[in-house]
Amino acid sequence: MSAHHCDSCAIHAELERMGVDLSRFDRVVALAGNPNTGKSTLFNALTGLKQHTGNWPGKTVARAEGGFEFNGVRYKLVDLPGTYSLLSASQDEQIARDFLLFGRPDATIVVADATALERNLNLILQVLEITDRVVVAVNLLDEARRKGIEIDLRTLARDLGVPVAGIVARTGEGLHALLTQLDGIASGAIATRPRRTKVSGDLQRAVDELVPLVEAVCPGIPNARWIAIRLLDGDAEVEAALASGRLAQIAARQQQAPETFSRKIALEGAQ
Amino acid sequence: MTVSILIVAVLIGVVLLRHRANRPARERRRIEDALKHLFDMEYRGGEATLSSLKGVLRLADRHVLALVARMQSLGFVRVRGQAFGLTPAGNRLARQIVRAHRLLERYFADEARLPLRQVHAAAEHHEHTMTPADVERLSADMGHPSVDPHGDPIPTREGHVPPAEGVPLTAWPTGSDARIVQIEDEPPVAFAQILAEGLHVGLRLRVLEHTPDRVVLTDGGTEIRLAPAVAANVFVAPAVDEAALTGAIRLTELPDRTRAEVVRIDDACRGFSRRRLMDLGLTEGAVVTPVLRSFAGDPRAYHVRGTTVALRRDQAAHVIVRPLESAWRETA
Amino acid sequence: MTPSPTDVIRRAAELREALGGTFRDEAVRALYAEAGEVARRAVRTQGARLDLDQRIDRIVTSPVFGLPLMALLLAVVFWITVAGANVPSNLLARALFAIEGAAVQLFDQLGAPWWLTGFLWNGVYRGLAWVVSVMLPPMAIFFPLFTMLEDLGYLPRVAFNLDFLFRRAGAHGKQALTMAMGFGCNAAGVIATRVIDSPRERLIAILTNNFVPCNGRYPTLIMLATIFVGASFPAAFASVAAAGAVVAIVCVGVAMTLAVSWALSRTLLRGEASAFTLELPPYRRPSVLRILYTSLIDRTLFVLWRAVMTAAPAGAVIWLLANIHVGGASLAQYAAGGLDPLGRAIGLDGAVLLAYVIAIPANEIVVPTLMMIYTGAGMMTDVTSLDDLQRLLVDQNGWTLLTAVNLMLFSLLHNPCATTILTIYRETMSVRWTAIGALLPLAIGFAVTFVVATVWRLFI
């Protein structure tokens, strides 16, 4: 087999290390979001009874994963711990962050509460720094309407540079549109231009200096800016991943991943 | 009978053996404590002597002398007349120990949330068993802090220590704003009094009056009186933003259902608590309104960035806010 | 030339030092500035509408009404559970014991040996039948009610209302949430302590979770409350009085939780209260389907299944203990006799203690075990109604109000069940904390019941 095959093995190895069994699925989707945003309601709405709960490997943090099918593609949905941020070192945040950074899911749905969008954007912007394959699901639209809050989804999507779907997870409203966008992101049909947070002054200069260095060490890395910021923060885990070459390997594979997946699907179709 | 004698003998043997086995560890601990003391004295521009070492190590003269001789033979210390000084090698080692000590103090204050008067002892207890890798991990986990909870700089991995920037409160001119940069934790009595008055590193204050028997200062709200001997243990530097004292209050002082803007989270709030407050959106410029008050008035719930979040008083006190001019008050 | 990873890391460290200590603040501030900017463009709020949530919250968390409202709600939930479970429990018991009767008859007709019939039907099956009939109805009522409060968003308000107590005990306000979960199942409560970030406060919550009575212990509490408290009131108020007695026991449990938390945070787990941030999410209309699913499948059936799995072997053990005779007395009689002095000292008897030893796998089976021990031969006389039970306990085995009170206390204060102990170990990964979590409540239970019994005997 060609080198491509091993690339896909290696990505799967990273995911398997995080306890994701890929044997009966085509794509992996992560579900992120603040606590109390109806994340688990969306998870249940998408996966129904096809779910499995347990703990993250070696951690006392609950995890849930389930499967669903859309347009003939079998998705594995991994529910990440609900967090306000990805910056603090709490166990939950570390798990969510590691999954996005090292697991490189084919797409990530970030669930946001329409009644407190500003607070939720804090997490959305952080996720956008790590991965560009994101769909934002603005949930609880009904509650927002009741409170007289109106969300301009189109402006939001333009500002964030990724697709945005308005949903009411409890009733199923808007789920089809969400899945269509998810399909586009996971297959690579929709190109995104994720918004990157502006920093200023000395911090900006420090980031500007580090980004080319990170890119030189890990060619093709999609989130050099975020890595640079984490290195400035002295994030021991990111330092270790950079030093061991784990980040460079993942970056190298990431570039080939869409091709690998489409090939995999094509192969299975031919059988 | 014979059995019990045997058991006692074995027990005594075990105790003696453990004592012996502990000897290298005990010596290491003493050497490290002595190095720390020598470093401290040099950093402050003073000199360590036999009596100052005796005070720190709580040992008899002959033991201190033996220890100094041992450190001399290891090449850490040189003796000049009455005073002991660090050699370059001793200085390097001392910085590592001081680094471990101050990082541990930071850890015990911020993450383990021990009361400030206990962190020194807790750090003393743990610093001698840390490997360099442990120290680095600890520093990284806490985001590489630059000062310990008393405001003393933490030496960097490379051993760099920035010079002390503060002057004693007793030497600060009246009427101008200052920020506490460091508080001496020795002697414990003075330290306890300083803590009891609510003074902490990062607090902004103004000296109102100082006479030979007292120093009077204000943190913007309450007046605090200190004996000059106590005030001399508090070191201050010019306040960075002079505007901070004007019109800003603590979130705990904000009346119910009054809107205010967050100015900042004060420097005494560190570690996980600080990160969590910021994650919840209590950052500069956020509009915050106290909306609910529980039984006994603590905790209170605040409306911020579209959500309602409950905070205890001791945390909300770290959030500095400025009431908004357009504040609406409920008439009811 | 390509830099090496270590060069990059070293350069980052130098830059960090140059930036000073404000780096993290600056990063979060920038994120929120950006979030605010995006939100301003995308969100439109039409005037200030009356916020219903806040108006409800002002009542629910009010310094005046908050706590009484909470106690009332708790009492109502218990009352609905007690009153509602009675009839279906009796029907289930009748049906299940009728099956037993028929099966025994059938076995006899087929000529099965007495020990086989006894072991299978009077041992294993009887344990099962009791557990199902006693536990299923209250759980099927309690769990949906509890899940509804949870879904509604009421529980964080409970934590808000009670935090002032936990703060004084040196514990975390969210411990109230884990206790609420403990009402369902202590193992679930121990797992729920994950919401507490501080390891110190989380350990306190884990070690004290057992002081709230779980579902497996309600049947005991409810039964005793009904027989000894409810029965001394007119029939119309009996269920209210019984619910009141259960609430009183729960209050003792809460008080004990606070006292032990306070003691722990001043001895083994010293430290100051950590960050307490509690989000009060908007009230949400509960979804009926989800409530039924979560409470019936996830909770009721889960707990029931666990109970059934332990009840069957326990039924077998009891039957064997009661039917293996050595020198004229059964093993159960020997064991109960051996434990009797200790039992008497704490106002109970040896049979109760033996029942608690056998019931370590699951607390649910304490009462059926006790019945089997009392009735000897491992078989209950036909105890299908509470009147029969009262006759058995009071007339035949000399129970007094003291026995009932102390058994209620002991049922609240004793070692956690095997599942909970295992869960404590899994969550703490420490034999030491697991041992403390198991033995501390037991020691307190002995101490409290001993004091109550001694004082009672002196003055009453």
pLDDT tens for residues B94-114?
888 889 999 888 888 887 777
Give start and end residues of each alpha helix (H) in C376-430.
386-390, 397, 401-412, 418-428
| Residue C342: other Cβ atoms inside 10 A | 14
Q: What is the mean pLDDT of chain B?
A: 82
Report pTM.
0.79
Q: Is residue C6 part of a domain?
A: no
Q: What is the pLDDT of residue C361?
A: 75
Amino acid at site C442: L
Q: What is the pLDDT of residues B199-236, one digit of tens each?
A: 888 788 888 888 888 888 887 777 888 888 888 888 88
Q: What secondary structure letter does DSSP report for C298?
A: I
State which residue of chain B sits closest to A37, comparing Cα positions: B307
Q: Cis peptide leading into C281, omega within 30 of 0?
A: no
Strands ordered across the beta sheet of A164-166:
A51-55, A62-70, A73-79, A27-33, A107-113, A134-139, A164-166
Please check whether residue B157 touches A, CB under 8 A.
Answer: no
Residue from A62, A60, A61, A156 nearest A110 by CA: A156
d(CA A79, CA A169): 15
Task: Sort out which chain A residues have CB atoms less than 8 A from C24's CB and list them.
Answer: 87, 233
Q: pLDDT-based confidence at C85, cuts 50/70/90?
A: confident
Name which of A84, A122, A233 is nearest B143 (Cβ-Cβ): A233
State the span(s) of chain B assigned CATH 1.10.60.10. 90-141
Residue from B248, B253, B241 nearest B313 by CA: B253
Subunit contact B301:C280, Cβ cutoff 8 A: yes
Name which of A115, A119, A234 is nearest B144 (Cβ-Cβ): A234
- CB distance A264 to A8 below 8 Å: yes
d(CA A262, CA C267): 60
State which residue of chain B sits closest to A94, comparing Cα positions: B141
State which residue of chain B sits closest to A239, comparing Cα positions: B140
Name which of C17, C28, C161 is nearest B283 (Cβ-Cβ): C28
Q: Is residue C123 part of a domain?
A: yes
pLDDT beyond 50 at A263: no
Task: Sort out which chain B residues have CB atoms less than 8 A from A94's CB and list them.
Answer: none
Q: Is residue C11 part of a domain?
A: no
Q: pLDDT-based confidence at A3, cuts 50/70/90?
A: very low
Mean pLDDT, residues C399-422 taken together: 90
pLDDT beyond 70 at C49: no
Subunit contact A119:B137, Cβ cutoff 8 A: no
| Residue B242: other Cβ atoms inside 10 A | 11
Subunit contact A233:C23, Cβ cutoff 8 A: yes
**Residue B12: helix, strand or coil by DSSP?**
helix
What does the H/E/C string look like for chain A? CCHHHHHHHHHHHHHHHCCCCCCCCCEEEEEEECCCCCHHHHHHHHHCCCEEEEECCCCCCEEEEEEEEECCEEEEEEECCCCCCCCCCCHHHHHHHHHHHHCCCCEEEEEEEHHHHHHHHHHHHHHHHHCCCEEEEEECHHHHHHCCEEECHHHHHHHHCCCEEECECCCCECHHHHHHHHHHHHHCCCCCCCCCCCCCHHHHHHHHHHHHHHHHHCCCCCCHHHHHHHHHCCCHHHHHHHHCCHHHHHHHHHHHHHHHHHHHHHHHHHC
Please provide the size of chain B in residues: 332
Subunit contact A117:C39, Cβ cutoff 8 A: yes
Q: What is the pLDDT of residue A120?
A: 94
pLDDT beyond 60 at B245: no
CATH fold group of domain B90-141: Diphtheria Toxin Repressor; domain 2 (1.10.60)
Q: What is the pLDDT of residue A11?
A: 61
- CB distance A30 to A78 below 8 Å: yes
C275 vs C320, higher pLDDT: C320
Subunit contact A239:C279, Cβ cutoff 8 A: no
> Which CATH architecture describes the domain B24-86?
Orthogonal Bundle (1.10)
Task: Sort out which chain C residues have CB atoms less than 8 A from A60's CB and list them.
Answer: 191, 194, 426-427
In angstroms, the separation between the Cα of residue B113 and the nearest Cα of chain C is: 5
Q: Cis peptide leading into A219, omega within 30 of 0?
A: no
Alpha-carbon distances, residue C353 vs B220, C404, C414 (angstroms):
64, 14, 11
In angstroms, the separation between the Cα of residue C60 and the nearest Cα of chain A is: 20
In angstroms, the separation between the Cα of residue B322 and the nearest Cα of chain C is: 17
Of B216-220, C42-46, C81-85, C384-388, the one with minimum mean pLDDT is C384-388
Of A14-28, A184-198, B251-265, C133-147, the one with minimum mean pLDDT is A14-28
Cα atoms in the 13 Å half-sphere on the side-chain side of A109: 32
- CB distance B318 to B268 below 8 Å: yes
Q: For residue B66, is it left (φ>0), alpha (ψ between -120 and 50) or beta?
A: alpha
State which residue of chain A sits closest to C51, comparing Cα positions: A147
Tokens of residue A213, six digits: 């260095």
Q: In this complex, which chains have at least 3 CB pairs below 8 Å with chain A? A: B, C
In order, the DSSP letters of B101-153 are: HHHHHHHHHHTS---HHHHHHHHHHHHTT--HHHHHHHHHHTT--SB-TTSPB
Instruction: Report the CATH superfamily, name and number, of domain B249-323.
Output: Ferrous iron transport protein A (FeoA) (2.30.30.90)
Q: What is the pLDDT of residues A118-153, one digit of tens each?
A: 999 999 999 999 999 999 999 999 988 888 899 999
Give start and end residues of each alpha helix (H) in C265-384.
288-292, 302-323, 331-345, 350-358, 366-375
Q: pLDDT-based confidence at B169, cuts 50/70/90?
A: confident
Q: Using CB atoms and an 8 Å cut-off, which of residues 255-284 of chain B contact chain A?
A: 272, 275-276, 279-281
- CB distance B259 to B327 below 8 Å: yes
Q: What is the pLDDT of residue C293?
A: 76
In angstroms, the separation between the Cα of residue C213 and the nearest Cα of chain A is: 24
Q: Using CB atoms and an 8 Å cut-off, which of residues 217-236 of chain A contact chain B?
A: 233-236
Q: In this complex, which chains have at least 3 CB pairs below 8 Å with chain B? A: A, C
Strands A73-79 and A27-33: parallel
Q: What is the pLDDT of residue B329?
A: 45
Task: Sort out which chain B residues have CB atoms less than 8 A from C67's CB and list them.
Answer: 295
Q: Is residue C277 part of a domain?
A: no
Q: What secondary structure letter does DSSP report for C327?
A: T
- CB distance B273 to B266 below 8 Å: no
Q: State the distance between the two ends of chain A, measured CA to CA, in whole angstroms.
A: 17
Please check whether residue B139 touches A, CB under 8 A.
Answer: yes
Return all residues near B233 (Cβ < 8 A) that are at least 6 apart: B168, B183, B184, B190, B191, B194
Residue B160, classified by CB atoms within 10 Å of its CB into exposed (0-12), middle (13-18) or buried (19+), is: exposed
Question: Rounded to the nearest 5°, which phi and psi values hold at C381?
Answer: -65, 170
Residue with tokens 């350990």, as numbered in its chain: C203
In angstroms, the separation between the Cα of residue A43 and the nearest Cα of chain C is: 12
Residue with tokens 């370059």, as numbered in its chain: B88
Q: Is residue C30 part of a domain?
A: no
C283 vs B326, higher pLDDT: C283
Q: What is the pLDDT of residue A160?
A: 95
* Disruptive mutation site among A37, A84, A118 for chain C (greatest number of C CBs within 10 Å): A118
Q: In this complex, which chains have at least 3 CB pairs below 8 Å with chain C? A: A, B
State which residue of chain B sits closest to C163, comparing Cα positions: B299
Tokens of residue B206, six digits: 């103004």
Tokens of residue C354, six digits: 């033996």
Name which of B275, B280, B306 is nearest A117 (Cβ-Cβ): B306
Q: At what angle do helices C418-428 and C199-208 cross, to 10 degrees?
A: 170
pLDDT beyond 60 at C377: no
Residue with tokens 């007395």, as numbered in its chain: C329
Subunit contact B305:A116, Cβ cutoff 8 A: yes
Subunit contact B315:C160, Cβ cutoff 8 A: no
Task: Sort out which chain B residues have CB atoms less than 8 A from C174's CB and list them.
Answer: none
- CB distance C273 to C167 below 8 Å: yes
Task: Sort out which chain C residues have CB atoms less than 8 A from A40's CB and list them.
Answer: none
* Disruptive mutation site among C10, C14, C23, C28 for chain B (greatest number of B CBs within 10 Å): C28
Task: Sort out which chain C residues have CB atoms less than 8 A from B285's CB and list them.
Answer: 32-33, 36
Question: How many domains does chain C contain in total?
Answer: 1
Q: How far is CA C263 from the centre of its chain?
A: 22
Instruction: Report the CATH superfamily, name and number, of domain B167-244.
Output: Ferrous iron transport protein A (FeoA) (2.30.30.90)
Q: What secondary structure letter does DSSP report for B312?
A: -
Tokens of residue B299, six digits: 């905790």
Subunit contact B279:A234, Cβ cutoff 8 A: no
Return all residues near A118 (Cβ < 8 A) that are at least 6 apart: B281, B305, B306, C32, C35, C36, C39, C43
Residues in a beta bridge with B310: B301, C278
Name which of C164, C167, C279 is nearest B308 (Cβ-Cβ): C279
Q: pLDDT-based confidence at C296, cuts 50/70/90?
A: confident
In order, the DSSP letters of B241-284 are: -GGGGSS-EEGGGSPTT--EEEEEE-TT--HHHHHHHHHTT--T
Q: Is residue C18 part of a domain?
A: no
Please provide the size of chain A in residues: 271
| Residue C73: other Cβ atoms inside 10 A | 15
Subunit contact C160:B301, Cβ cutoff 8 A: yes
Task: Sort out which chain A residues have CB atoms less than 8 A from B140's CB and list them.
Answer: 234-236, 239
Subunit contact C9:A153, Cβ cutoff 8 A: no
Residue from A101, A85, A102 nearest A93 by CA: A85
Q: What is the pLDDT of residue B60?
A: 84
In angstroms, the separation between the Cα of residue A9 and the nearest Cα of chain B is: 32
Mean pLDDT, residues A242-247 taken together: 88
Residue with tokens 């002597």, as numbered in its chain: B49
Q: What is the mean pLDDT of chain C?
A: 84
Please check whether residue B146 touches A, CB under 8 A.
Answer: no
Q: What is the pLDDT of residue C368?
A: 75
pLDDT beyond 50 at A5: no
In angstroms, the separation between the Cα of residue A192 and the nearest Cα of chain B is: 26
Largest separation between any pair of C-alpha atoms in chain A: 58
Residue from C85, C129, C107, C110 nearest C242 by CA: C85
Q: pLDDT-based confidence at B240, cuts 50/70/90?
A: low
Q: Is residue C7 part of a domain?
A: no
Residue A101, classified by CB atoms within 10 Å of its CB into exposed (0-12), middle (13-18) or buried (19+), is: buried
**Which of A2-11, A124-133, C24-33, C238-247 is most confident?**
A124-133
Subunit contact C27:A233, Cβ cutoff 8 A: yes
Task: Sort out which chain B residues have CB atoms less than 8 A from A118's CB and list them.
Answer: 281, 305-306
Mean pLDDT, residues A61-65 taken together: 83
CATH fold group of domain A3-198: Rossmann fold (3.40.50)
Q: What is the pLDDT of residues A191-219, one digit of tens each?
A: 889 998 888 888 889 999 999 999 999 88
Q: pLDDT-based confidence at C1, cuts 50/70/90?
A: low
Tokens of residue C164, six digits: 């002032």
Domain containing residue C317: 63-270+287-459
Subunit contact A62:C194, Cβ cutoff 8 A: yes
